[in-house]
């Protein structure tokens, strides 16, 4: 779905989550809050997944979404998760969260770009725009997701290929 616009994927995401017992809510970013998303169990059979369009970049949205999905899969029903960008931190109320957060980050990385394919790509050390676009097409994901990962992993400077980064407004 990362290759589609929010108008196309958002209704489908809501439907998928609803079928799984998850209330999916997208909200505008609350300025200066740093919050990317949250998970709260409403009862043992229903969870709330909240996401926003912080920074409006597709790679940030995708990572935050899969991060929160992992928190639901962890089934810690007495824990409230808040994911926010304050020195790459996260918070949870009700349990020790360090391991849960690491698992959620790894889950998000793997779902967006499978590690085996990513390792093969970076092994080549060809980070040209064309190479990034080709790799993204090969794994059926938007090039901005690949670009965001390369920048996060310090393979590229933050100001490189900014034209590949797309922004969405999901609200």
The total of structural domains in the chain comes to 1
Is residue 17, in this structure, part of any structural domain at all?
A: yes
Place of tokens 């990385």: 109
Is residue 1, in this structure, part of any structural domain at all?
A: no
Strand order in the sheet with 35-43: 22-27, 46-52, 35-43, 80-84, 90-93
Model pLDDT, residue 157: 93
pTM score? 0.87
Is residue 170, in this structure, part of any structural domain at all?
A: no
11 lies in which domain range?
6-164
Is residue 169, in this structure, part of any structural domain at all?
A: no
Two structure tokens written together for 11:
């209704």
For 61-78, what is the mean pLDDT?
90
Mean pLDDT value across the chain: 86
Is residue 62, in this structure, part of any structural domain at all?
A: yes
Is residue 84, in this structure, part of any structural domain at all?
A: yes
| First-to-final CA distance of the chain | 17
């Amino acid at each position: 779905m990362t290759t589609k616009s929010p108008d196309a994927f958002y209704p489908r995401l809501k439907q998928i989550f609803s079928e799984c017992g998850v209330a999916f809510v997208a909200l505008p970013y609350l300025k200066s809050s740093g919050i990317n998303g949250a998970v709260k169990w409403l009862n043992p059979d229903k969870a709330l997944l909240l996401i926003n369009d912080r920074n409006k970049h597709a790679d940030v949205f995708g990572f935050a979404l899969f991060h929160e999905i992992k928190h639901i899969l962890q089934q810690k029903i007495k824990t409230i998760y808040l994911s926010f960008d304050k020195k790459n931190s996260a918070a949870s109320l009700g349990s020790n969260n360090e391991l849960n957060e690491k698992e959620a980050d790894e889950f998000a990385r793997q779902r967006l770009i499978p590690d085996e394919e990513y390792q093969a790509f970076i092994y080549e050390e060809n980070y040209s725009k064309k190479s990034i676009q080709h790799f993204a097409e090969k794994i059926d994901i938007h090039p901005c997701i690949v670009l965001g990962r390369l920048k996060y992993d310090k393979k590229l400077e933050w100001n490189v290929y900014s034209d590949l980064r797309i922004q969405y407004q999901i609200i």
